[in-house]
Amino acid sequence: MKDPIKVLFAEHDIITAAIDIAKEADKLIETNEVGYEKLIRELINFFREYADQYHHNKEEKILFPEMSKRNELLEDGVIKEMLENHEDFRSMIKSIETFLDKKDYTKAQQQLLSYTEALLDHIAVENDEVFQMAESLFDTNELEKIYFHFEDCDREIGMQRKMELEKKLSEMQQYLVV
């Protein structure tokens, strides 16, 4: 069976790898400010494209609406919370970028760490609650339909670009090798 929930779990693993890089980025502030800024801008791009455009997009346009159709209580509960988190994440990324533009790397890193902690909490709720609910709400055929909608969504944005972003993580890790 083509499982959309496994897709989301796998994307979470990739996003978590980017979070791990972000948590170590402060090592560059003292030794290589240019490298720090370049890394953080690449991470911002990754989070905007991969986490938001690919991952959150599938949740917002496909999974959450389907879940809400099945259980209206979810729409005003956990789904509303997840959608609010997505909006908060977009604002936090803008804030990180603003601090970078001002060359205030300490505040950029503080905001980045706040963002990554919030994102990790969000991922935990989705992994432990939301995705489990989704699996119980839908039968195998319905999950497969959702999976194919996910595939269509990724194709619209660009499968090649998604793979490039995943590969880019290993390049970003090189900034932290001293």
If you average pLDDT over residues 133-151, what whole number do you get? 96
Residue 15: both structure tokens together: 């996003």
Hey, what amino acid is at 97? E
pTM: 0.94
Neighbours of 153 (CB within 10 A): 15
* For residue 73, pLDDT beyond 90: no
- C-alpha–C-alpha distance, residues 1 and 146, integer Å: 12
pLDDT at residue 74, as a whole number: 85
Task: With beta carbons less than 8 A apart as the criterion, state whether 70 and 137 touch.
Answer: yes
Q: Domains in the chain, start-ordered, CATH in brackets?
A: 4-176 (1.20.120.520)
Q: What angle do CA 158, 162, 167 make, to 5 degrees?
A: 145
| Mean pLDDT estimate for the chain | 94
If you average pLDDT over residues 142-150, what whole number do you get? 97
SS (H, E, C) the chain: CCCHHHHHHHHHHHHHHHHHHHHHCCHHHHHCHHHHHHHHHHHHHHHHHHHHHHHHHHHHHHHHHHHHHHCHHHHCCHHHHHHHHHHHHHHHHHHHHHHHHCCCHHHHHHHHHHHHHHHHHHHHHHHHHHHHHHHHHCCHHHHHHHHHHHHHHHHHHCHHHHHHHHHHHHHHHHHHCC
